[in-house]
A = this chain, B = another copy of it.
């Protein structure tokens, strides 16, 4: 183990704690413990700070390299990881898991395609040419320019899509 490995291990732990505490905060609020929910939210944001600093110290490459890494990760997920998870969840008859894996699998394929477009632009020194970016709040689908009539992945009406700005 080296400090480089430790930074990545720390980043992995902090990222998961960040997301876990956010869900634990929602759960505490549901149970009526609003102050405990606030504490979980504060700690969730604290772990976000830890994750960001560890990754920063590890080193964040250029956007070209980040896009290549993102395409590689997304492609692995939608071609291998999620298809295997979907298959196993179907064999186990766990429909909620099948839905969760399927939404992610299809959204990752969309993400990979959009990152490819971005990579082509950035490689020639230009920004991605797009005026608006929309997100499906149900399945994580991303659409450029305008929301579809209905989400092709999860079926939610397009008016539920959120425009994302920096």
Contact = CB atoms under 8 A, between A and B. Distances in A.
Interface of A: 1-3, 6-7, 9-25, 27-29, 31-43, 45-57, 60, 62-63, 66-67, 70, 73, 77, 81-82, 84-85, 88-89, 92, 94, 96-97, 100-101, 103-104, 107, 111, 114-115, 118, 121-122, 127-130, 133-142, 164-166
**Quick one: copies of this chain in the complex?**
2
B3 A85 contact: yes
A47 B77 CA distance: 12
Contacts of A49: 137-140
A92 B67 CA distance: 30
Majority secondary structure of chain A interface residues (helix, strand, loop or mixed): helix
B77 A39 contact: no
A42 B135 contact: yes
A35 B129 contact: yes
A57 to B, nearest CB: 5
Contacts of A50: 100, 103-104, 107, 140
Given A3-B97, A11-B16, A85-B10, A36 B63 contact: yes
